[in-house]
Amino acid sequence: MVAPLLLKNGRVIDPANGLDGIRDLLLVEGKIAAVTLPGEVDGPAGVETLDLAGKWVVPGLIDMHVHLREPGQEHKETIETGTLAAAAGGFTAVACMPNTKPVNDNEAVTQLILAKAAARGSARVYPVGAISSGSRGEALAEYGEMKQAGVVAVTDDGLPVVNSQLMRRALEYAGNHELLVISHAEEPTLSQNGAMNDGALATRLGLRGIPHVAEEIMVYRDLALAQYTGRPIHIAHVSTRESVDLIRRAKAKGVAVTAETAPHYFTLTEAAVDQYNTRAKMNPPLRRQADVDAIRQGLRDGTLDAIATDHAPHSELDKDVEFDLAANGIIGLETAVPLTLRLVREGILEAGGMIALLSVNPARILGVGGGALSVGAVADVTVIDPEKEFVYGPEAVHSKSVNSPFLGWQFKGKAVLTILAGRVTYSDFPG
């Protein structure tokens, strides 16, 4: 039985309910029992009470794009450590990509992920299944079976679906099982062997470039297929200006498209890979300032619906090698809140907009619950201290891997309390 908890005097930001004000929140039996003006609710006798003046009380954050590495690459991350990192970053739910070993293209892997999450998880885990069997890009995976087992969407993330007919069929068939199709947009004949964004810096470093059109061509193809089939598509990790523009125009035409970007794409440029810094190597690669600016604009005007971290743990064995050979990806669960808060302080996002991008929007895109602080809803709640300053050092990382370009950064603002169904999964409080 979960003990009741009274969260007093916090700034409750709940975009799903149009609420942004000082409120008290009473959590009883893992549910939200009351949301009231300060002092209007007492709770049961002896209830643990936290004074959250100056803090934000928001719906439990949802990261719709993470790699938990289990099964198969447990030396990088496990469901236990990955969800611990999620909780430490303020997330109460994550959607995990299917590029495990073996690939999550069947109910057995899906069930294994859910069983591990139930036994040792610190966050809800929503498995995402593969689009194609083995993510080999040839035949459709068994969506019906996976859906029954618990997947919430399908993607071959990590790899593009090269075969356009397969992508068309995936969109069509996913409709039978009400599964969202998530596109990792990359035209591989343009990106192959590439190690970073194409351009002057790649030339100077002698690294093969990945041109931004490699992403945009596939974004366009998948928007066209979504329009043609009348089925929704979600574009993962948008990194370029032109992709944002394509999505904006498709939305204006009524195409059922949603899109996410990651904090690194609105924070860093390709300059972060200078000196062959493999901790800034990822796919899609970091781009240029004009792309960063366009992504910020896309978040501001609603073209981009969600912020997802693409949390991609890798060990030193995968990263302390020649740049060409280094694995793509960075961890992101524990830096998403501080990095997104920078956009709020810069006036690019309102607090409510930030929280929507990290909670109710991904919940709606995936068709999962959560993302709102409604009375009666499950008590997934995150408390953010927007003023708390800290240095992000490797010793503070909860993930099993430390491959982050943000190590050593001075941040202002972080999640200080994460509550999953009324139970505290992370506390840095009082801080």
Q: What DSSP character marks residue 354?
A: H
Q: Which helix or strand (DSSP H or E) is residue 66 part of? A: strand 61-66
Coil, helix or strand at residue 4: coil
| Angle, helices 241-252/213-229, rounded to nearest 10 degrees | 20
In whole angstroms, how far apart are CA 136 and each of 156, 160, 212, 314, 423? 8, 10, 24, 22, 40
Lookup: tokens for 322? 């020649």
Residue 259 DSSP SS3: strand
Query: Rounded to an integer, what distance in angstroms lies between the CA atom of residue 3 and that of residue 419?
Result: 12
Contact 423, 381 (CB under 8 A): no
For another protein, give the closer residue by CB, 323 or 411.
323
Partner whose binding site includes residue 202, from Zn ion, another protein, none (CB under 5 to 8 Å by kind): another protein
CB of 241 to another protein, least distance (A): 16
Q: Is 43 left (phi over 0), alpha (psi -120 to 50) or beta?
A: left
301 catalytic residue (yes or no): no
| 322 interface partner picked from Zn ion, another protein, none, CB below 5 to 8 A per type | another protein
We find the least distance from the C-beta atom of residue 321 to another protein, in angstroms, to be 6
Instruction: Provide, rounded to whole angstroms, the least separation between the CB of residue 219 and Zn ion.
Output: 13
CB of 267 to another protein, least distance (A): 23
- Residue reference for tokens 């303020």: 90
Q: Please report where in the chains the tokens 């899109």 appear, as a residue.
A: 259
Only one residue has tokens 């501080």, namely 338
357, 358, 359, 362 alpha-carbon torsion, rounded to 10°: 70
CA-to-CA distance for 50 and 34, rounded, in angstroms?
Answer: 15
Instruction: With beta carbons less than 8 A apart as the criterion, state whether 208 and 194 touch.
Output: yes
Q: 413: alpha, beta or left, given left = phi > 0 and alpha = psi -120 to 50?
A: left
Q: Cα–Cα distance between 376 and 146 in angstroms, integer? A: 30
Q: 157 or 187: whose CB is closer to Zn ion?
A: 157
Q: What residue 324 binds from another protein, Zn ion, none (CB within 5 to 8 A, per partner kind)?
A: another protein
275 binds, among Zn ion, another protein, none (CB under 5 to 8 A by kind): another protein
Binding Zn ion by CB under 5 A: which of 157, 187, 198, 318? Answer: 157
Residue 249 CB, nearest approach to another protein (Å): 26
The region of 23-31, 176-184, 322-330, 371-379 touching Zn ion under the rule CB under 5 A is 176-184
CA distances from 220 to 183, 211, 245, 246, 262 (A): 11, 15, 10, 7, 20
Q: Which positions touch another protein (CB under 8 A)?
A: 192-193, 198-209, 275-276, 317, 320-325
Residue number with CB closer to another protein (290 or 317): 317
Cβ closer to another protein: 26 or 210? Answer: 210
Indicate the residue among 209 and 362 with the shorter CB distance to another protein: 209
Are β-strands 410-420 and 196-197 bridged in parallel, bridged antiparallel, or unpaired? unpaired
Cβ closest to Zn ion, residue 78 vs residue 99: 99
Residue 73 per-residue DSSP state: -
Closest residue to Zn ion: CB criterion? 184
With CB under 5 A as the contact rule, which of the stretches 15-23, 177-185, 357-365, 403-411 interacts with Zn ion?
A: 177-185
Neighbours of 411 (CB within 10 A): 17
Q: From another protein, Zn ion, none, which one binds at residue 411 (CB under 5 to 8 Å depending on kind)?
A: none
Q: How far is the CB of 269 from another protein (least distance, A)?
A: 14
Query: Under the criterion CB under 5 A, does residue 311 sit at the interface with Zn ion?
Result: no
355 alpha carbon, distance to own chain's centre: 13
Q: How far is the CB of 96 from Zn ion (least distance, A)?
A: 13
Q: Which of residues 179-208 bind Zn ion (CB under 5 A)?
A: 184
If binding means CB under 5 A, how many residues of this protein chain bind Zn ion?
2
407 makes contact, choosing from Zn ion, another protein, none, with CB < 5 to 8 Å by partner type, with: none
- Of 14, 198, 310, 385, the catalytic one is 310
157 interface partner picked from Zn ion, another protein, none, CB below 5 to 8 A per type: Zn ion
Q: Which is nearer to Zn ion, 14 or 216 (CB)?
A: 216
According to DSSP, the residues that pair with 419 across neighbouring strands are 381, 424
Contact region for Zn ion (CB under 5 A) — 35-43, 52-60, 156-164, 325-333?
156-164
Catalytic residue IDs: 310
Given the rule CB under 5 A, which residues bind Zn ion? 157, 184
